[in-house]
Amino acid sequence: MHMKILKLPPLFFIFFIHATVFAGLSETVDSLEKKIWKDFVCEYGFVLDYKGDFPSPQDCLEGRPNYLNWWGPTENAAKFTGLYLASVCQRHTLIPNESDAEKARKLAKGLMLCASVSDVKGFISRGVSSDGRTHYPLGSEDQTLPWIYGMYLYLKSDIPNAAEKGEVKAKIIEVCSALDENGWKCPCDGKFKGQCRGDFSGFRFFNAPCMLFGLRVMWDLTQSDNWRQKYYSALRQTDPVTGKTRMEICANGYKFDANWLYNIDKNFLWIYVKCQAVLRILYDMEADPKVRASYIAGLCSNAKSALKSAGDYKLYDNSANYPFTSADWRRIYKWRPQESQMEAEKLAMEQLKSYKHGAARKAERNYMTNAMSAVAMLAFSGETKYRKLAEDAISHYDYSKFHLGEIIYASVAYSALKTYVKEMPGK
């Protein structure tokens, strides 16, 4: 008796292997999610930089470890939460489930809190202190843009009910309107009320897609011709120094900023992920062929530039037990009073040079945060040629051992991969 052999087309095996890889990847991401919610999402609904003594109201008022809250456990609360909320919403859009919906609701409440603790319109706080309201006085564009991005994707999802959608939409409009009235400069609060820190209106890639995204969101939410005109005017506004329009700067990608920040590929990709993320949204929303071409050029340029750093995930040793001491921030950061933003920044940089944080922070930042930021850049481009590298990188880590909340970048990369890189090769 002869057994009949079933001949399956080659495409079947490609699909089977790809599906198997994604199944294993999903298991890895499950462990990542458990770690994020076990150690890094606090009771107020925002993501911590690390587990450590929560800032007290007095810490915020006195500027400990500094008024910028650099090196503190809530330093990047709005930034990390906004990026992470967007990734949760993207996953929920692909496969709706109550678990992700509940996560998104809690994160959105945290972001709403960050935008509601001050009477200064447009101010986005770096989280709150232990009393749930007192906060550090200095924000930044690095906190504000991810806030807008995360809240906008949450609003566009089917997770919030009608009443919450109304509240979220009103808050986004309030924040963006205040920023627009302030020349797209980020206002300060408390001791530095009346001052600004962070500016979306500059002519670097770090700024250009961010301001455009804020204007495009306002056009979408208000359906006002006034915001449409502001958006297209900003798009074609020319930098008096370089002669480049914002559209051209977007097409160049982050390499345009090489003379401003040294070695972006190895040191600063994590602050550029938000730019790539909103550039992708701008591309998807744009109807003008020339503008779309500029946006996709920037997305692909950033992916090509970041590719050299994506492979650094291999340098992270999962078997090592890297020491981590940053949690004891009150002890390791020498403090003194600060009377200006300049003094606060000077103190923060001195603390950066002197503190003893252990090898974990350096290893995780260099070989996980930066590598995952690079992978996110690849994924947001939508280019299928990067899929295998992205899958291997995200799957590499034992996330249970990490000390930094920056592991959310792995979630951002994974959600972007699932959202923008199609399941079937070449499609």
Q: Dump pLDDT digits (tens) for 254-286.
A: 999 999 999 999 999 999 999 999 999 999 999
CA–CA distance, 151 with 165 (Å, rounded to integer): 10
Whole-number pLDDT of residue 20: 43
Contact status, residue 279 vs residue 362, Cβ threshold 8 Å: no
- Per-residue pLDDT averaged across 236-243, rounded? 97
Supply the pLDDT for residue 75. 98
Q: Is 70 exceeded by the pLDDT of residue 9? A: no
Q: Assign 1 a pLDDT band (cuts: 50, 70, 90).
A: very low
Banded pLDDT at 426 (limits 50, 70, 90):
very low
Measured in residues, the chain has a length of: 427
Q: Confidence band (pLDDT; 50, 70, 90) for 8?
A: low
Task: List phi, psi (to 5°) of 225.
Answer: -65, -25
The pLDDT, as a whole number, for residue 269 is 98
**Cα maximum dimension of the chain:** 91
Q: How far is CA 369 from CA 76, 303, 361, 399, in A?
A: 14, 16, 10, 12
**Range 336-363 average pLDDT:** 90
- Per-residue confidence at 209, pLDDT binned at 50, 70, 90? very high
Q: Mean pLDDT throughout 186-210? A: 98
pLDDT recorded at residue 354: 66
3-class SS shares of the chain: helix, strand, coil, % to 5: 65, 5, 35
Residue 190 reports pLDDT greater than 50: yes
pLDDT of 424 > 80? The answer is: no
- Nearest CA to 335 among 145, 53, 63? 63
In the chain, % of residues over pLDDT 90: 88
Tokens representing 248?
């051209």
Contact of 135 with 143, CB cutoff 8 Å: no
Asked if pLDDT for residue 102 goes beyond 60, the answer is: yes
Give the DSSP H or E segment for 13: helix 10-35
Q: What is the pLDDT of residues 54-65, one digit of tens each?
A: 999 999 999 999
Q: Cα(109)–Cα(128) distance, rounded to whole angstroms?
A: 13
Q: Give 127-159 pLDDT, tens digit per residue.
A: 999 999 999 999 999 999 999 999 999 999 999
Provide the pLDDT confidence category of residue 325 given band limits of 50, 70 and 90: confident
The residue-averaged pLDDT of 37-61 equals 97
The pLDDT-based confidence of 199 (bands split at 50, 70, 90) is very high
User: ∠ CA 391-395-396 to the nearest 5 degrees?
Assistant: 120
As a whole number, mean pLDDT of residues 231-258 equals 98
Residue 24 pLDDT grade (very low, low, confident, very high; cuts 50, 70, 90): confident
Pick the CATH number of 39-312+336-420 from 2.30.29, 1.10.3470, 1.50.10, 1.10.150: 1.50.10
Average pLDDT over residues 328-340: 94
* pLDDT band for position 17 (cuts 50, 70, 90): very low
**pTM more than 0.75:** yes
User: What pLDDT is stored for residue 5 in this prediction?
Assistant: 45
Q: Using 50, 70 and 90 to split pLDDT, how confident is the model at 352?
A: confident
Query: Once rounded to an integer, what is the mean pLDDT over residues 9-34?
Result: 67
Domain boundaries, the chain: 39-312+336-420
pLDDT in the model for residue 7? 55
